[in-house]
Amino acid sequence: MTDILNAFVALSNFVLIPAIAYGSQLALGALGVTLIYGILRFSNFAHGDTMAFGTMVTILVTWGLQAAGVSFGVLPTAVLALPIGIAVTAGMLLGTDRVVYRFYRAQRAKPVILVIVSMGVMFIMNGLVRFVIGPNDQRFADGERFIISARDFRAWSGLNEGLAFRTSQGITIVTAIVVVALLFWFLNKTRTGKSMRAFSDNEDLALLSGINPERVVMYTWVIVAALATVAGVLYGLDKSFKPFTYFQLLLPIFASAVVGGLGNPLGAIGGGFVIAFSEVAVTYAFKKVLGYLMPEGFEPNTLVQLLSTDYKLAVSFALLVIVLLFKPTGLFKGKAI
């Protein structure tokens, strides 16, 4: 019995909790990608760098608050700075739309042109972030580090295995639930949200019904800014902030959105968790867990690790290709062919 409990705790500690936190971050990122795809109809390659930009603003404000002696008790100060980060990012995205994207929308340019345009925006945002905050790692988490620390858990339960639950993971999960609930309430209950869904379903019909497309697009960018900044800050709190890492997040985020079904918000969430759980499970060494579960003398003598952790990206990519080949609309029926 203790062995089973030990195995379960080890599994939770190294697989379940990290994967749930990472999955929430991916889901928030994928929601942004999927909203842009649904409303503006292109894959936004600048999304990773939008996340980096929002996080950078939040970090700068956090440093300002810390310097002024403001803190948020046990919670990280970055949570206080988050609204300002969102506001600045929203301004940035609206400005980008006004200067860059609107011209091509008016021309009704092909989606692939918009994708190339978003590559240009990606370059600029990437350069901007590196210019302001530099290309190095930045840590900005403060406050209490653990909700449950491994030592306390061992003392409390008397088990061999410790269970650590970090504050950043707790905040990630709670924030993700709140943000997703708000988003779905907005999309399903409010007038603006309904007009956004109508616009995504059938643009011409929505225009005929008198929906103002520019307004819909504006709301989309503001929501995307909020989602991207929240996802970026949560990822940064959980791991650390580095512009290049955020650029690389593009692949798992796209994989989440596509696996779930591009254009479908529910799919983005499901896809995020599918990708996160596969990445963590495939690259985790199950030796310890199996050691508890197997009978005496049958413990594995290898690591029981399917792939080394360096191949995380390969996991999201493999899932992406498998889904595209066998179920091109994604697991949750997206709108793309």
Partner 1 sequence: MKNALLFVAVFALFVGTGFVQSWNTALAIFNMGLISAILALGVNLQWGYAGLFNIGIMGFVALGGLASVIVTMPPTTEAWEAGGGRMIAALAVGAATVLGAILSRQRLPRGWARTLAMLGIIVAGFLIYRSLFDPARDAIEAVNPAGTGYLGGLGLPALVAWPVGAALAAGAAWIVGKTALGLRSDYLAIATLGIAEIIVAVLKNEDWLSRGVKNVVGLPRPVPYEIELQNTPAFVAQAQSWGADPVALSAIAVKLAYMGIFAGILITLIGLAQMALNSPWGRMMRAIRDNEVAAGAMGKNVKGRHLQIFILGSAICGLAGAMMTTLDSQFTPASYQPLRFTFLVWVMVIVGGSGNNLGSVLGGFLIWWLWVQVEPLGAGLMQVLTFPLPDGSALKDHLLGSVQHMRLLTMGLVLLLVLRFSPRGLIPEK
Binding site for partner 1 (CB under 8 A): 42-43, 100, 103, 111-113, 115-117, 119-128, 130-132, 134-135, 247-248, 250-251, 254-255, 258, 308, 310-311, 313-314, 316-317, 320-321, 324-325, 328, 336-337
Give SS3 for 166. strand
d(Cα 246, Cα 274) in Å, to the nearest integer?
20
Shortest Cβ distance from residue 224 to partner 1 (Å)? 17
CB of 225 to partner 1, least distance (A): 19
Q: How far is the CB of 160 from partner 1 (least distance, A)?
A: 29
Helix 47-67, helix 213-238: angle, nearest 10: 60
Whichever of 160 and 245 has its CB closer to partner 1, that residue is: 245
Which pair of structure tokens corresponds to residue 186?
């907005």
Residue pair 19/272 in contact by the 8 Å Cβ criterion: no
Separation CA 90–CA 57 (nearest Å): 11
Select 40 or 163, whichever has its Cβ closest to partner 1: 40
In terms of CB distance, is 126 or 168 closer to partner 1?
126
Least CB distance to partner 1 at residue 202 (A): 19
Q: Which is nearer to partner 1, 87 or 290 (CB)?
A: 290
Give 45 or 219: the residue with its C-beta nearer to partner 1.
Answer: 45
CA torsion angle 125 131 137 140 (round to 10): -80
Minimum CB separation of residue 247 from partner 1 in Å reads 8
* Comparison of 218 and 324: residue with beta carbon closer to partner 1: 324
Q: Using an 8 Å Cβ cutoff, are 331 and 261 in contact?
A: yes
Q: Could you tell me the maximum CA-CA distance found in the chain, to the nearest angstrom? A: 73
Based on DSSP, count helices (H) and strands (E) in the chain, helices before strands: 16, 2
From the list 220, 268, 265, 207, the residue with the least C-alpha distance to 96 is 220
The minimum distance between CB 129 and partner 1, in angstroms, equals 9
- Distance of closest approach, residue 174 Cβ to partner 1, in angstroms: 31
Phi, psi dihedral angles at 148 (to 5 degrees): -125, 125
Given the complex with partner 1, which of 105 and 194 has the nearer CB atom? Answer: 105
User: How far is the C-alpha of 307 from the C-alpha of 96, rounded, in Å?
Assistant: 40
